[in-house]
Structure 1
Amino acid sequence: MFQFHPLSSATRERLVAAGLDPDAVAGLVRMAVTEDLMGGVDVTSVATVPSDQRSVGTFGSRGDGVIAGLPVAAAVIDAVCGDAASEFEYLVADGDRVAPGIEVARVTAPTQLLLTAERSALNLLCHLSGVATLTRRWADALEGTAAVVRDTRKTTPGLRALEKYAVRMGGGQNHRMGLSDAALVKDNHVLAAGGVREAFDKVRALEGAIPVEIEVDSLDGLAEAIEAGADVVLLDNFDPDGMRAAVKLRDETGPSVVLEASGGLTLETARVVGETGVDFIAVGELTHSAKVLDLGLDLHAIV
């Protein structure tokens, strides 16, 4: 069975600073590497690389984008190569923009183990950087408006905390992390409860104060949600004219209510939506459809 190593104190500190649970990341890393090894060994590296050989390699960008996930890649190196036998040097920071040819990290480690760790580290780093890159495009499109792009719960199972971290690195904000930290009353909840007011009252009756967001698909629904006392109202599939009318209604009847646009939004129309006066734009594609940022690991020296 492959022998995993604990995360270094430096990697754990960076993960904590990023708002990530080091133990959860370590578990994810073990799962990813175990899946890659399939109960065996890295037969190619074992066959071609002397067991006592050490190398210096760099993770580098092959495209334009935003980096996210360097501490996660470092966690892979720690777990596979061991803190005592490896060194991970950060050459840029998460959230930095990069261009092709930019080196983002340098690693010194036993060659066999470094090559074993390579794909798992890149799978996570490329994916998270892709999420950050797409989020940055939305944030750039909204620059100068009052609207902020934020994510949804349409995340990859097991990767929610990491993907939402990548959204933050790209300049976006997080919506609720899960079902328990905020209430989002959608059309099915309204139907099951017997109406907007009934659904709202049932949520408010729960112990503890939690934010309540109500989804509506019409101005009448918005008026009902504001009257009920919603903190946030999700405007589902409103066109820009409808959003502007919703903002006007909100300003006149419930100025403290936050409006969030959702449904059918595209990067090409983001600025038009932002200029309607809504506060947030909910974009599921940030996490469920982001294209990976192309990064690679290249060995430069045998030491």
Structure 2
Amino acid sequence: MNRGYTTPVTNISEKDFDALVELALEEDLPAGDITTDTLFSKEETCHAILLAKEEGVLCGLSVIPCLIQKTQAKVTWTKILEDGATITKGTVIGELEGSLASILKMERILLNFIQYLSGIATNAHRVSKEFPNLLILDTRKTLPGYRKLAKYAVYTGGGANHRLNLSEMAMLKDNHVAKAGSIFSAVNMVRKTNPGKKIELEIDELAQLNEAIEAKPDIILLDNFSEKDTEEAIRILKENAPEIRIECSGGITPEKLKFLSKFNGIGVSMGYLTHTVKFLDISLDIK
């Protein structure tokens, strides 16, 4: 089953990270690698192992062939695992064979991509596994240029994708409602001009709920509600508008999910998945 409000990011291709790889190479090798170019000849070769140093979920391996192609390195990559694989300390992920200098030059860039995306996938996996009755959603709180990669990592780890961008679905917040004059007007204006697009409506107090239900958006987002008001709003929605999806948001951490897990099937959007990320410890051991 696809996990997301719109089309989820279930895979990535070279075009999704091509520009980022180009930028990384320009950033790290503006005039070569002084150390490697001084100490190693172009003829020296090596065998390197991509190795997990801690437990997590693997993500981002498709960047490796792109790096090899961009640097025109005489290096072959043998993949042992796939994205989404659960790894533990000592797990061999894959192997590189060929030019020692080329492998040393791409090592940090390669690890930055894979450690970062694996960190996101691991975050999403831990939360989704602990609270399987909730739809754990990402947000647009991602590093510029990394949006699709980050959302792919969330999905790879078992989380769900909210909208990828502002064009995919409408999300009405207080400023939009103020411009339209009312919740009902805002929802209907968007529905009329964008038929077929999903509409999410954000409310920040219980007093707005009746008008929100009357407007009939696809999703109602309860933003920064207290536990008491969250419980009351969900009860009203399930009794009076079961066809409307429910989502909660507002600085939600894994600790706050314990309360929300009592409500089966609701969505919970968490910027935490992508903006509170620890690189997963993965190394490239050169033999």
Same fold (TM over 0.5): yes
Q: Counterpart of 1:253?
A: 240
How far is the alpha carbon of 1:27 from its aligned partner? Answer: 2.2
Decide whether aligned partners of structure 1 residues 21 and 94 sit closer, same or farther in structure 2, where only a CA change above 3 A counts: closer
The one of 224, 233, 243 equivalent to 1:237 is 224
Unaligned runs of 5+ in 2: 1-8
TM-score normalized with structure 2 length: 0.92
Q: Counterpart of 2:285?
A: 298
Supply the AA of the counterpart residue of 2:124.
Answer: T
Q: Once superposed, what is the RMSD of the aligned Cα atoms?
A: 1.6
* Equivalent residue pairs, number: 279
**For the residues of structure 2 that align with 1:193 and 1:107, how far apart are their CA atoms?**
58
How far is the alpha carbon of 1:259 from its aligned partner? Answer: 0.4
The one of 76, 79, 86 equivalent to 1:90 is 79
Q: Kindly report which structure 2 residues correspond to 1:149-298, keeping only aligned pairs within 5 A, or say none.
A: 149-277=136-264, 279-298=266-285
**For the residues of structure 2 that align with 1:193 and 1:255, how far apart are their CA atoms?**
26
**For the residues of structure 2 that align with 1:173 and 1:268, how far apart are their CA atoms?**
19
How far is the alpha carbon of 1:75 from its aligned partner? Answer: 2.0
Q: Matched residue of 1:197: which SS?
A: helix
Unaligned runs of 5+ in 1: 1-16
Q: Counterpart of 2:57?
A: 66
Contact 1:154 1:287 in 2 (8 A): yes
Q: Matched residue of 2:193: which SS?
A: coil
How far is the alpha carbon of 1:186 from its aligned partner? Answer: 0.9
Q: Matched residue of 1:260: which SS?
A: strand
TM-score normalized with structure 1 length: 0.87
Contact 2:121 2:157 in 1 (8 A): yes
**For the residues of structure 1 that align with 2:15 and 2:247, how far apart are their CA atoms?**
34
Supply the AA of the counterpart residue of 1:47.
Answer: T
How far is the alpha carbon of 1:240 from its aligned partner? Answer: 3.1
**For the residues of structure 2 that align with 1:228 and 1:195, how far apart are their CA atoms?**
10
Q: Matched residue of 1:214: which SS?
A: strand
Post-superposition, which runs of at least 4 consecutive aligned residues in structure 1 deviate over 6 A?
none
How far is the alpha carbon of 1:196 from its aligned partner? Answer: 0.9
**For the residues of structure 2 that align with 1:219 and 1:118, how far apart are their CA atoms?**
52
**For the residues of structure 2 that align with 1:209 and 1:29, how far apart are their CA atoms?**
36
Identity %, equivalent residues = 34
**For the residues of structure 1 that align with 2:40 and 2:281, how far apart are their CA atoms?**
26
Deviations 1:281-301 (A, max 9, x none): 10001111211111111112x
Q: Does 1:109 align with 2:102?
A: no
Q: Matched residue of 2:228: which SS?
A: helix
